[in-house]
A and B are shown apart, each in its own frame.
Chain A
Amino acid sequence: SQQGEEDPQALSIQEGENATMNCSYKTSINNLQWYRQNSGRGLVHLILIRSNEREKHSGRLRVTLDTSKKSSSLLITASRAADTASYFCATEVAGTASKLTFGTGTRLQVTL
């Protein structure tokens, strides 16, 4: 069964607005990672947050991790049309070094 589930499945916003995507998972993890996938391309790594961390920032991206609720969120501030893509969370389950289990993805559409 899938480890991660993203919510919502699809999100449509206007340029300049913030976008929030959520990820829930089932088992203990070493770390949680967020990736972006543009149509027809490979995945691009955005942020890695370890199980002992609660929040990380990278540019316009902010990731939170709540291990008690087994959930994470990705916030993209001041979105741009170029942010249009699918976003995936991936968990490295505790005890399975290097094995990532991906969620179902959120399709983000940013319109002008």
Chain B
Amino acid sequence: DTAVSQTPKYLVTQMGNDKSIKCEQNLGHDTMYWYKQDSKKFLKIMFSYNNKELIINETVPNRFSPKSPDKAHLNLHINSLELGDSAVYFCASSQAQDQPQHFGDGTRLSIL
């Protein structure tokens, strides 16, 4: 009965590889988000979708591409991984804009 679930929880891969992180929410929320948390715990928004439509696209390298097949899912695909991509990536959702956000437990991405 997890509200926001992300897979995988850990991802260890080599530089240059392509990887995807999946996120699903069963809260019936309209808005979903991807955040990146660095080693100093600083959390920064990357993308946001509202009803499958992209509404926030921060200054993120083109190697990062979100995809929302439906309202309950928001996946993140990363091409040509770099050392600086090592971080914890969090998915979140909210009922609407201007509402509290519910976070998944994160995906810890380590680039070798």
Q: How many residues of chain A have a CB within 8 Å of chain B? A: 24
Q: Are B106 and A99 interface neighbours, CB within 8 A?
A: no
Q: Confirm or deny: B43 has a beta carbon within 8 angstroms of a beta carbon on chain A.
A: yes
Q: How many residues of chain B have a CB within 8 Å of chain A? A: 27
| Cβ contacts A to B, 9 pairs, < 8 Å | A42-B104, A42-B106, A43-B92, A92-B98, A98-B96, A100-B101, A102-B44, A104-B40, A105-B41
Q: Are B103 and A98 interface neighbours, CB within 8 A?
A: no
Beyond known contacts A45-B102, A88-B43: 9 more, CB 8 A cutoff = A40-B106, A43-B90, A43-B103, A98-B55, A99-B45, A99-B56, A102-B44, A104-B41, A104-B42
A41 touching B105 in the complex, CB below 8 Å, given contacts A99-B56, A100-B45: yes
Interface SS of A by simple majority: strand
Residue in A33, A44, A97 whose CB lies within 8 Å of B97: A97
